[in-house]
Amino acid sequence: MGKFIYDGVVTGEFFCERPVEIGRLVSYIDDSTNVLLFAKRRMGKTSLVQEVFENHIDKSRFITIYADIYDITDECDLARELYRAIASSLKADLRSLVKILKDYFHRVSFDISLGQDGTPSFSPKLSTVDHEVLLSDVFEGLSNYLIKHNLKAAFCIDEFQQIKTINKPLDATIRKHIQKHHNVSYIFTGSKRNMLSLLFKGEKSPLMGMVTPMELGPIELEIFFDFAHKQIPQLTCSIFETLYQSALSETKLVQHFLRNCANAEVLKLGEIENTVLVEVEAIARPIFEAMSPNNKKAIKILVGHNKSGGLMSKEILAKYNISKSSLKSSLDQLINNDIVYLDNGTYQLDGGIGASFAFWASKRLS
């Protein structure tokens, strides 16, 4: 039976190959180019980074660092997560590791515990709350370590948009340090497209011009089908293409469909879609029900009329009993909340859970 993982990071045999994207990201890392990796939600950004880090980087020349800052609430949380990520990336015996951390990082101490498999985990204790001092210690300590050991690094900071939730000039401080480093490729990525865009493309953003944008599009249909067919021999190209289109080519939802294909004795398209619809409904419906009445109307309008391009027509406004200004206000609010996004001038549903919300809405609200 095929195994398809859609609710977490995948690498190795469970990773559907992206040869072009892998080659491009490896090239950027090799050249110590800073990258803004962006995509629609649930396209596999984190899996791509982890696959490259695990299987496509020369570990004799590079260290790979991955920090997920989704849960940070202040600048100290940010510093702790960066310290923890760097410490976890270093490969040395425990005694050597303690010495390295003490020699290169001076504004922190570490409580270190060992798991059952002997893997260390780190709890950083900060000596100050000054974000400039902490971030200087993080970035300069890392750079000095790399220079001393003739190494380079790939440093991914995931959910980077979270620094916008902290009322400190963290982006300016980060720029001050990373612009000096020629031995590190910083990879910034995240799930909230609107906030991430403001950090790197805003007129007054300190980070503007500091990165090379890299958009992660959908996995090509042919490549994805070959990957799926190897695990599900009874899967036809026709069924897969329909599922791929229903999933709006989103990696996660395609994998969700494929898992149900792998579990089915007989592949029946309607049954597969209905099974996934029921599973998705438990998450999608509460998102919709929590919306204001006008936002619900905006979602229904997008489901029923987005392809026509006439969202603001008198007929549609009358049908849903909403004014043009109210609809525009609702769409702006939904974009700011990452429920809806604009793609080449067209509104797309996201719901904060990706194409699963669009799939549910198309079945339940049309």
Single residue among 175, 192, 215 that ends a domain in this structure: 215
User: What does the pLDDT look like over 170-179, one tens digit per residue?
Assistant: 999 999 999 9
Say if residue 37 is in the same domain as residue 151.
yes
Would you state the pLDDT for residue 282?
94
Helix (H, G, I), strand (E, B) or coil at 121: strand
**Residue 283: inside a domain, yes or no?**
yes
Maximum C-alpha span of the chain:
73
Domain count, the chain: 2
CB atoms within 10 A of CB 143: 19
**Residue 172: inside a domain, yes or no?**
yes
Say if residue 211 is in the same domain as residue 287.
no
Asked whether the whole model's pTM tops 0.85, one would answer yes
Say if residue 47 is in the same domain as residue 173.
yes
CATH number at residue 278: 1.10.10
Q: How far apart are CA 28 and CA 58, in angstroms?
A: 14
DSSP string spanning 142-201? HHHHHHHTT-EEEEEEETGGGGGGSSS-HHHHHHHHHTT-SSEEEEEE-S-HHHHHHHHH
Contact 247, 253 (CB under 8 A): yes
**What is the band of 196 on the pLDDT scale with cuts at 50, 70, 90?**
confident
Query: How much of the chain exceeds pLDDT 70, in percent?
Result: 98
Say if residue 190 is in the same domain as residue 292.
no
Contact 219, 18 (CB under 8 A): yes
Structural domain harbouring 183: 17-215
Q: How far apart are CA 5 and CA 8, in angstroms?
A: 7
**35: which strand partners?**
187, 212
The per-residue pLDDT of the chain, averaged, comes to 92
Single residue among 215, 232, 264 that ends a domain in this structure: 215
285 CA to centre of own chain: 23
Identify which has the larger pLDDT, 182 or 142: 142
- Give the pLDDT mean for 80-107: 95
CATH number at residue 126: 3.40.50.300
Task: List Cβ neighbours of 10 (8 Å cut-off, separation of 6 or more).
Answer: 44, 47, 51
Single residue among 171, 193, 215 that ends a domain in this structure: 215
**What is the band of 208 on the pLDDT scale with cuts at 50, 70, 90?**
confident
Helices (H), the chain: 19-30, 45-55, 75-89, 94-104, 131-148, 170-178, 193-201, 221-231, 237-246, 251-263, 269-289, 293-305, 314-319, 324-336, 355-364
Would you state the pLDDT for residue 2?
55
Say if residue 193 is in the same domain as residue 323.
no
Say if residue 128 is in the same domain as residue 58.
yes
282 CA to centre of own chain: 22
**Residue 224: inside a domain, yes or no?**
no
**Residue 221: inside a domain, yes or no?**
no
pLDDT at 200 over 90: no
Say if residue 203 is in the same domain as residue 66.
yes
Q: How far apart are CA 323 and CA 314, in angstroms?
A: 9
**Residue 314: inside a domain, yes or no?**
yes
Burial of 64 (0-12, 13-18, 19+ CB in 10 A): buried
Say if residue 181 is in the same domain as residue 283.
no
**Residue 11: inside a domain, yes or no?**
no
User: What does the pLDDT look like over 298-348, one tens digit per residue?
Assistant: 999 999 887 656 788 999 999 999 999 999 999 999 998 889 988 777 888
Contact 41, 357 (CB under 8 A): no
- Give the pLDDT mean for 40-59: 93
**Residue 122: inside a domain, yes or no?**
yes
Say if residue 318 is in the same domain as residue 209.
no
**What is the band of 1 on the pLDDT scale with cuts at 50, 70, 90?**
very low
Residue that the structure tokens 């590079």 belong to? 62
Q: Dihedral (C-alpha) 222, 225, 227, 233: value to the nearest 10 degrees?
A: -140
**Residue 189: inside a domain, yes or no?**
yes
